[in-house]
Amino acid sequence: MKKLILGVLASGMIAVSLLAATGAGADGLSLRLGAGRFDDGLTKVLGNSTDAQAQWTNKESRTGKFSVVLEKSAPTPEWVFAGAVIAGAEGMTVADLGNLEMSVKGNCGGGAPRFNLYYDSTGDGQIDGVAFYGCGNNAVGAPVNGWTTMSADAELDDANAPVSGTVVQLSVIVDEQGIYYIDDITVDGVALGEPSGK
């Protein structure tokens, strides 16, 4: 199974290798779920634990039968996270991503959940910058049945990701304490909301 790098911002950037693969979708996009911790300069992949978990659930869904639950049980200051990497987005240009969207049941804050976009602006395959798209900063309208929808143009963020920049990694991250149900993660017009990708 292919390793993916999952970027998290706690007090700095943490790179974690995740192996759990789920949710293949159209256009080669899929979700890879995982959780981890950063301790004493070392990143530890936890999988689902008492600190954090990321998994498909049929307990809540906005559309279809499933959503992704991202939960951080550890206090917010601890460097623990849960997330979903959008595999298949790497290599796309920032402009190709279009609107980054998701629906959230739980707190829709400015910091979590959020899209993290790592991009290469020089063509050498290395990360040159990171852009963040927080749920609360990009909420669209009032919640419906407890679900808040967010939509952010990938080209418009605080870091000003270059339109011609290449995606190194795109992920949805939770690193603040709480339980977040995430549904209809949408990239390039493709919605990933079911384990089957449909």
The phi and psi torsions of 90 (rounded to 5 degrees) equal: -60, 135
Q: Into which CATH architecture does domain 4-192 fall?
A: Sandwich (2.60)
C-alpha span between 132 and 154 (Å, rounded): 9
Token pair for 3:
């390793």
Residue 104's pLDDT is 98
Token pair for 57:
């659930």
Question: Which pLDDT band holds residue 197 (cuts at 50, 70, 90)?
Answer: low
Taking the alpha carbons of 47, 48, 50, 56 in that order, is the dihedral positive or negative?
positive
Contact 114, 132 (CB under 8 A): yes
Listed in order, strand segments (DSSP E) in 1-98 are 4-9, 13-18, 22-24, 30-39, 42-45, 52-57, 67-72, 80-87
Q: What percent of the chain has pLDDT over 90?
A: 58
Beta carbons within 8 Å of 189's beta carbon, 6+ residues apart:
98
pLDDT, one tens digit per residue, over 58-70 is 999 999 899 999 9
How many beta carbons lie within 10 A of that of residue 20, not counting itself?
A: 18
pTM of the model: 0.84
C-alpha span between 40 and 10 (Å, rounded): 14
